Amino acid sequence: MDVSHEVNLLVQEIQRLGSKNADGQTSVKFGVLFSDDRCANIFEALVGTLKAAKKRKVITFQGELLLQGVHDNVDVILLQE
């Protein structure tokens, strides 16, 4: 799979699992995204896809890297619907 395709799939999954925040942006907790069965089947390297999407300014989250358990409550915010 190419990175652009994976980023597009990530956007769809954030829209499916997330909800609108106070700013009207779609947001989902990293832990929800990471533990979702459908996401686990789609993304071989979810953290890598998140990093690529952040670099392309499609999403944002605090920090450079998200790790399961440690960062489960970090919001992943969709910048481009």
Q: How confident is the model at residue 81 (pLDDT cuts 50, 70, 90)?
A: confident
DSSP string, 7-30: HHHHHHHHHHH-EE-TTS-EEEEH
Q: How confident is the model at residue 80 (pLDDT cuts 50, 70, 90)?
A: confident
Residue 57 has which token pair? 């300014």
CB of 58 within 8 A of CB of 7? yes
User: What's the pLDDT tens digit per position in 28-58?
Assistant: 999 999 999 999 999 989 999 999 999 999 9
Q: What is the pLDDT of residue 1?
A: 60
Asked whether the predicted pLDDT for residue 65 surpasses 70, the reply is: yes
